[in-house]
Amino acid sequence: MIHLLIADDHPIVRTGLVALLGSEDDFEIVGEASDADAAVEAAERLNPDVVLMDLQFGAAGNATGAHATRRIRSLEAPPYVLVLTNYDSDADILAAVEAGASGYLLKDAPPHELVAAVRAAAAGESALAPVIASRLLDRMRAPHASLSSRELEVLELVAAGRSNAEIAATLFVGETTVKSHLAHIFSKLDATSRTAAVSTARRRGILR
Amino acid sequence: MIHLLIADDHPIVRTGLVALLGSEDDFEIVGEASDADAAVEAAERLNPDVVLMDLQFGAAGNATGAHATRRIRSLEAPPYVLVLTNYDSDADILAAVEAGASGYLLKDAPPHELVAAVRAAAAGESALAPVIASRLLDRMRAPHASLSSRELEVLELVAAGRSNAEIAATLFVGETTVKSHLAHIFSKLDATSRTAAVSTARRRGILR
DNA sequence: CGGGTCATCGTCCGAAAGGACGAACCACGG
DNA sequence: CCGTGGTTCGTCCTTTCGGACGATGACCCG
């Protein structure tokens, strides 16, 4: 019997997952969580085998699914975490994998793929949606144009229209550091300004 | 008895909606559709009272939920269409309302709100999520933040990462003119920098 | 014809961004 | 054990951007 915890801020999605997965004979849904903090708490208390984790949680909290994943994976005897999200941006994928996710699925995945991924995760295997797997392979093949996670973090804030000073404050670093990251980003993306970098990153699918 | 048709490309969401709405005594789900064309066909054939319509359909087809809504509303004795989507961008809302939607709900809406909206739609009333309603009112109050065609031209070049000097050369005008257009754009979009303006324009659906 | 919007071009000036150096710390792998 | 890459910080300097004034002519609409 595989014990599942479902963490998603959309009631509709939670209901759908419960209906889809609950009908499998060897699955048992032991809990649901509607935000990142509740997910961590529930994972600790209910001791599930696999956590289905959304990456985007509404404005309710500021903790993201990636944060929650990291915290869950640092519990003792942690459950496997299967990330389930809408988008396939490099930034999200990288953040999730680094946080210790066992798999990365898109919400438009067909049910059988979802079920298979849960079984794989419960067995300790990795389960990546085909789209995601090929994207990761692309990244392996062309390591030169890949940004570090910190650089992505900076670039996302740049794309949101924040100034260097604001970004520095958000990330708790000096403005010099932000400019340094940006210089590396410009070099990697072959851009000479922040807006050009954002444009290139969007075109290449690095940002969504 | 209210007959429902559910149109959404995500199996998880469809399952969730069926589970949530199917348990209401006076609701009956008469069909599901996984893309926009199938939704129109099903609406014509099954003659539901209310169609729950997603706005974003995956890359499968090119028809959007707004198109499908328009076509459904142009049937004879058309059902009411309740748009159900993830995003609350002004462009989406406006497109849906113009296409004849009776309501606009976000997928993170609580179930009771969803049920209430379906009943309201079936009764021929409008049902807007509070967030959406207030946004529409804001738009009414704040007279048209729409950009002139020249301003849009400039903004697109800005979004492509070009500098003021490059934009000026491209459009065969002086750099001063570009800066003047940008100042107007900043004012209309309530932004203080080019990247922030691009970000806002994207969020509002002004830029793709 | 007056009033509004749009597009075009100015100047002045402070703030922000970017380039060009350098340098320290740490983790990780060959 | 040493090199490589990532993250952090620094200074000096130039370029670009954005704000705050402005001005002109073209156009449409009531």
Q: Cβ of B194: how many Cβ atoms within 10 Å? A: 23
- Helix A11-22 with B11-22: angle, nearest 10 deg: 90
Question: What was the pLDDT predicted at B92?
Answer: 73
Smallest CA-to-CA distance from B29 within B12, B10, B14 is with B14
Contact, B149 CB vs strand C, < 7 Å: yes
Can you spell out the DSSP letters for A28-66? EEEEEESSHHHHHHHHHHH--SEEEEES---TT-S--HH
Place of tokens 């000073």: A165
What confidence tier does A147 reach under pLDDT thresholds 50, 70, 90? confident
Nucleotides of chain C in contact with protein CB (under 7 A) are 5-11, 16-23
CB-CB contact of B177 with B168 (8 Å): yes
Rounded to whole angstroms, the distance from the CA of residue A166 to the C1' of nucleotide C21 is 25
Residue A131 or B31, more confident: B31
Cβ contact, residue pair B199, A20, below 8 Å: no
Residue B37 or A126, more confident: B37
Question: What was the pLDDT predicted at A160?
Answer: 96
pLDDT greater than 80 at residue A136: no
Per-residue pLDDT of chain B (208 residues; tens, 9 = 90+): 999 999 998 999 999 999 999 999 999 999 999 988 899 999 999 999 999 998 877 655 556 777 888 899 999 889 999 998 877 666 677 778 778 888 888 888 889 989 999 999 999 888 777 776 776 665 555 545 678 889 999 999 999 999 999 999 999 999 999 999 999 999 999 999 999 999 999 988 788 7
Question: What was the pLDDT predicted at A173?
Answer: 96
The CA R_g of chain A, rounded to the nearest whole Å, is: 18
Smallest CA-to-CA distance from A135 within A50, A63, A205, A48 is with A205
Nearest 5°: the CA angle A113, A115, A118 is: 110
Runs of H (alpha helix) within chain A: 11-22, 36-46, 65-73, 90-99, 111-122, 130-141, 149-159, 164-171, 175-189, 194-203
Smallest CA-to-CA distance from B7 within B84, B75, B88, B120 is with B84
Of A11, A19, A199, the CB nearest to B160: A199
**Prediction pTM value:** 0.74
What's A137's DSSP letter?
H
Residue B141 or A150, more confident: A150
CB-CB contact of B170 with B153 (8 Å): no
For A5, how many CA atoms within 13 A lie in the half-sphere containing its CB? Answer: 27
**Residue-wise pLDDT tens digits, A162-189:** 999 999 999 999 999 999 999 999 999 9
Question: What was the pLDDT predicted at A61?
Answer: 53
To test the contact with chain A by mutation, choose from B12, B115, B154, B178 the residue with the greatest count of A C-beta atoms within 10 A, namely B12
What gap in Å lies between CA A73 and CA A54, rounded to an integer? 15
Token digits for A113?
């793929």
Place of tokens 């934009």: B167
Place of tokens 């991924």: A117
**What's at A179, amino acid-wise?**
K
Lowest mean pLDDT among A84-93, A103-112, A174-183: A84-93
Lowest mean pLDDT among A27-36, A91-100, A121-130, B36-45: A91-100
What residues have CB less than 8 Å from A133, skipping those under 6 apart?
none
What gap in Å lies between CA A64 and CA A67, rounded to an integer? 5
For B164, how many CA atoms within 13 A lie in the half-sphere containing its CB? Answer: 13
**Sign of the alpha-carbon torsion through B185, B189, B191, B196:** negative
pLDDT greater than 80 at residue A22: yes
**What's at A114, amino acid-wise?**
L
Cβ contact, residue pair A13, B13, below 8 Å: yes
Chain A window 104-163, residues with Cβ within 7 A of nucleic strand C: 163
Token digits for B99?
């296409």
CB-CB contact of B158 with B194 (8 Å): yes
Q: Which residue of B has its CA nearest to A111?
A: B11
What gap in Å lies between CA A123 and CA A120, rounded to an integer? 5
Question: What was the pLDDT predicted at B79?
Answer: 94
Q: Which residue of A has its CA nearest to B191?
A: A161
Question: What was the pLDDT predicted at B13?
Answer: 92
Place of tokens 């198109």: B67
Lowest mean pLDDT among A37-46, A82-91, A172-181, B30-39: A82-91
What mean pLDDT comes out for the span A190-200? 95
What gap in Å lies between CA A65 and CA A57, rounded to an integer? 7
Size of interface A-B (CB pairs under 8 A): 100
The CA R_g of chain B, rounded to the nearest whole Å, is: 20
Under the phi-then-psi rule, with left for phi > 0, alpha for psi from -120 to 50, and beta for the rest, what region is A101? beta
Contact, B150 CB vs strand C, < 7 Å: yes
